[in-house]
Structure 1
Amino acid sequence: MNPMTTIDDYHQRTKHALPSRWAAGPETLDWEAQPDPFRRWDGAPVHGLPLGGADPAGDWPQVLRPGAVAAQPLSRAALGRLLELSLGLSAWKQAGADRWAVRMNPSSGNLHPTEGWILCRGLPDLPDGLHHYAPREHRLERRASIAPAAGAAPRAFVALSSVAWREAWKYGERAWRYVQLDTGHAIGALRFAAALLGWRLQRLDEGSARLAALLGLDRDEDFGRAEREEAEALFELLPAAADAPAGPAGDDAFWHWTAPGACAWHGTASRLDRHPMYRWPVIDAAAVASRPPAAVPPGPQTAPALDPALPRPAAEPQPAARLIRQRRSAQRFDARSRIEAAALWSMLQALDPADPGFDLHPGPARVHLLVFAHRVEGVAPGAYLLGRGDGALERLHDRLGHGLGAPLDWAEVDGAPAGLALRRLAAHPALAGTLRTIDCHQALGSDAAVAFALLAEFQPLPGPWAYRTRLQEAGLIGQRLYLEAEAAGLRGTGIGCFFDDTLHALVGIAPPEAAQAPLQSVYHFTVGVPLHDPRIVDTPPHDPGLPRPNGDLDD
């Protein structure tokens, strides 16, 4: 099959459908045999990263505004803080004899397929080369060494890769969707952590093959029987006001190490699962089909600039680092609680694609939100639609039909901020129970105060690589929702299990048998007042009084 057909077939094949058709997955799970959530590069030189000290100052969401935070110089300590606040551990949790780590970046099932990398040159306290981030020990493992470039200006890049097997172990064929959502979450986490350091990220679309070579992911001899990784994204770290210099594609000091013998490679990949019980070849097929070429046409970002006349609802400023550290996924919601409309408006305004938090997404926004208000003061229970970007509502109007038992209203929403591209589809006081059913019978869909279903524009896709970017865009939106919920004193949780075509039929996207629907549901998210489980105890992510395994050693 050609790549586009592969992607279409994968997405259709991995849908859950009422009443009892589930995407193919394992028939049983042995939690004692869960894949190791921490990859190590055995034999690689280790460089410890500092822990402790005051977090960078900056209130949410002002920290995202260019120039709001003075840029810190590139250094090992600053890179360590970037990685800690984006991909690092936020806590250890324990319930009885079970103990597990949670991280700053969320992940489906807390399985964490995303790996982080640093490429650097000219830093005074870190060798030039390629480094893998090990979050458990909070250290860097040097994968490749390059000769220092005399007089070179300091430059640093951060990259992401993914290990699909961590998700596939639990979720089977549908897992590759979750891998890409998690990549989007990680991109958002990096963006917000960089803002706290006065940095921005410049996305470099080098193509999958070139990025895999740069990260050594194409080196068969370094993996052996270990699970392979997929190259995902590359960004340069820049002071917020700096112009981007030429990227690695035009920089021999970086790209020369991909040639045979041009650098010294170190370490071999640890194996995460020594006894895998299943194989899901369609995941590999979808990954290969959706790999970006060397140059992805980004398309113009046509979203209008933020209107200064549309202020965010006033709220007491909170430190951004505190929100990042305290972010958790809600396990249960208080089904009787209500939230203020101002909290909902603030969340929706934060999703404007012209907001600085979305400057890493290549091209115009193509993911929009169905908003299901269950219990929001001053907002009638029912279904609403938020269009993201210029012309979104017009495109969506042409792609939605009859739904919710009647023609859709498309009415402006009383009380919503002026200029917010929000429309009421239908007033419907009983949607909470419907959402519980659609969200794989999970109470998270009904007990939340508000639920979101993210709709991606699918037909036509500009190329098979756009499937990957649609899912990453949805994950980036989810990361913003997580932090906006925390800022409002609430809590969010992402939901990857839902009955795709049942949701489509609810709002009239397409009949269930339509394989070529113009919109597809790619992610669900809920926000409400969380219920605390006193059986689960939180402990610090790193005890500074205990030695970290090899964490303070340099080669």
Structure 2
Amino acid sequence: MGRSTQALLEYHERSKHRVNRYAPGPGGLDWANQPDPFRVFQGSPRIALPLAADTLATRYNELRCGALPPVQDFRLHTLAILFELSLGLSAWKSHGAQRWALRCNPSSGNLHPTEGYLLCPALPGLPGGVYHYLSRDHVLEQRAAVDNPRWTEAFSGRGILVGISSIHWREAWKYGMRAWRYCQHDCGHAIAAVSYAAAALGWQTRLMEAIADDALAALLGLDRSEDFGAAEREAPDVLLWIGNPEAQPDLERLWSAFDKAHWYGYANQLSAGHVRWPDIDAIHRATHKSRTREPTLPNSEPHLWSATPALDLSFARIARQRRSATSFDGTTRIAAAAFFTMLESLLASRDTPPWNALTSPAAVHPALFVHRVDGLEPGLYLLVRNSAALPDLKRAMRPEWLWQRTGPDHLPLYLLLPFDLRAVAKLISCHQDIAADSCFALGMLANFEIAVKQPWRYRHLFWECGMLGQALYLEAEAIEERATGIGCFFDDEMHAMLGIKDHAWQSLYHFTVGGAMVDQRLSTSAPYEIQP
């Protein structure tokens, strides 16, 4: 076993919550050092983005079925829509003197470790270069100006690049060691949010998997110590190609044009004081990615759409109204047809968001606790998103499970155990009522052997979980219900319930959908001031 694999397994085990011991955390919240939720590069030129999302006619039901609208041009107006509906603010909430922002991309604890970047050639209204997106003000901060023909040639005029990074401290301030996991979940949510918003503009999304972390850090300017000083550093996560999937950029040419870039701005410090978590540093090193070969895109399995959600909402509306429920009423029920429709959206398809972003076959499979679905027996179910995984899943779990196919013929959903499992779901989710009061809850089982063989793919498994969560968030809104991610769960209690005895499969993220209770004490206001 290699050193990186050993470090990965040590972190994975040490960061598990257990019934008699939670993963190491801060013990209390140091409110004086609560991180600023907005990274700002002071002194960088700013380009204001128009609030243009309401001009977008795309319907959510079209996107979820892969019926993308005509391809729009890349210009300031369309890029403004892309960022507003993926990484932008969706509302401000307030209670008394407290005020905080919500965003289209969800985050554990609303702490938002994820930062977004744009790399583009010269476009109408936008010089070529590297930009940081500041969601608070809906502006692009110019980090680097690149005036080199090779830079423009590398893009082939057919797309742009979006970079995603994480500031681990934002989550560690509240969650300690387990925070690294949550940063990866949030990265997955952001990938999906970008993919959906890009699709609403007619654009495809692809993860540029071959690039090394060090090269991505250099492209985004994250390795520039002189620009960060005492400010919290950002870990490079993902580079996404947005545009024509058959004309991806030449990264070597892009890199060759970068040596004479002119950089602007200095990062703000988010907290005056910090607590170092060596385990987070260790897993960051263990999952460091070197350059790899471009993968061959997997063949999608045949996918038939049988139904659409009841509400035919615009994508702009559904993206901005997405919320994380804090409690459920314990009485709301949904129809089996609506439940099956939601699960359909989780099946991978090469050109359908958010799965068009991935370059590997589906590796995560939801194990579902069904509580209140009319026409479906309460119990434990499994959605097998990749048929090749079915034999391994059967071998890994209890021999007494039924494995009874249920639902529409094209939906790979299996009933394992007919039983009221509300108490089990609550216990596994750190005794949280929200897992039992929902219509259904689930744990996301990942093929962990992928990470054991290639430790950098540990991150990808969490990302895929976050993408599943983002799809469920939007699907819940489309049937007038609400969803929420659950980061606190007893990992091995879930495994024991399923009969899993080794690391072949591990549950990496839990989720739940139901009828939300609205906190009437909170006030809501618009995300941005109306422009004249």
State the one-letter code of the partner of 2:226.
E
Distance 1:274 1:463 in 2: 36
- How far does the alpha carbon of each residue in 1:214-252 deviate from its partner, in whole angstroms, 9 at most, with x for none? 1111111111111111111112221xxx4532424232x
Question: Aligned residue for 2:510?
Answer: 524
Residue 291 of structure 1: how far off its partner (Å): 2.3
Q: Is the 8 A contact 1:401 1:508 kept in 2?
A: yes
Q: Does 1:340 align with 2:335?
A: yes
**Could you say if the C-alpha distance between residues 441 and 354 of structure 1 is closer, same or farther in structure 2, counting changes exceeding 3 Å?**
same
CA distance in 2, matches of 1:478, 1:442: 18
Percent identity reads 42
The answer for the alignment partner of 2:409 in structure 1 is: 418
Quote the residue 2:285 is aligned against: 288
User: How far apart in 2 are the matches of 1:321 and 1:433?
Assistant: 37
Confirm whether residue 173 of structure 1 aligns to residue 194 of structure 2: no
Spell out the pairing of 1:24-423 with structure 2 (5 A cutoff): 24-52=24-52, 54-64=54-64, 68-149=68-149, 154=157, 155-205=159-209, 206-238=211-243, 242-251=244-253, 254-259=254-259, 262-276=260-274, 278-295=275-292, 298=295, 301-307=298-304, 310-313=305-308, 315-354=310-349, 356-357=352-353, 358-401=355-398, 407-413=400-406, 416-423=407-414
2:468 matches 1:464 = no
Preserved contact between residue 119 and residue 129 of structure 2 (Cα < 8 Å): yes
CA distance in 2, matches of 1:509, 1:296: 33
3-state SS of paired residue (1:523): strand
Task: Work out whether residues 301 and 365 of structure 1, in 8 Å CA contact, stay in contact via their aligned partners in 2.
Answer: no
- Number of matched residues? 523
Matched AA of 1:245: A
Q: 1:117-157 CA distances to partner (integer Å, 9 max, x unpaired)?
A: 01111202111110000000110111111115398554421
Cα distance, 1:480–1:296 mapped onto 2, change above 3 Å: farther
Deviations 1:373-396 (A, max 9, x none): 011111111101111113222221
Structure 1 residues 167 and 296: alpha-carbon distance in aligned structure 2, compared to 1, 3 A threshold? farther
Q: Where do 1:515-554 residues align within 5 Å? A: 516-544=502-530
TM-score (norm 2): 0.94
- How much has 1:362 moved relative to structure 2? 2.3
Q: Distance in 2 between matches of 1:186 and 1:203?
A: 12
Letter in 1 for 2:487: G
Aligned twin of 2:466:
475
Q: Is residue 311–residue 479 contact of structure 2 (8 Å, CA) maintained in 1?
A: no
How far is the alpha carbon of 1:65 from its aligned partner? 5.2
**Equivalent position SS for 1:391:** helix
Instruction: Tell me the CA shift for residue 443 of structure 1.
Output: 1.1
Q: Distance in 1 between matches of 2:418 and 2:106?
A: 32
Alpha-carbon displacement from aligned partner over 1:22-50 (angstroms, at most 9, x marks no partner) = 11110110335310000000111111111
Structure 2: unaligned runs, 5 residues or longer = none
Contact kept? 1:46, 1:140, Cα under 8 Å: yes
What residue in structure 2 maps to residue 553 of structure 1?
none
Deviates more, 1:42-51 or 1:98-107: 42-51
Cα 1:321–1:373 shift into 2, 3 Å: same
Residues 245-294 of structure 1 deviation map (CA, whole Å, 9 limit, x = unaligned): 2424232xx313543xx111111111111112x21011122112112221
Please name the residue that 2:423 is paired with: 433
What is the TM-score normalised by the length of structure 1?
0.91
CA contact (8 A) 1:313 1:345 kept: no
Distance in structure 1 (CA, Å) of the matches to 2:450 and 2:102: 38
Q: Which amino acid aligns with 2:193?
A: A
Q: Report Cα offsets for 1:423-457 as digits up to 9, x if no partner.
A: 1111112x111211111111111111100110001
| Cα distance between partner residues in 1 of 2:73 and 2:176 | 43
Q: Give the Cα–Cα distance (whole angstroms) in 1 for the partners of residues 465 and 119 of structure 2.
A: 27
Q: Kindly indicate whether the alpha-carbon contact (under 8 Å) linking 2:185 and 2:465 is maintained by their aligned counterparts in 1.
A: yes
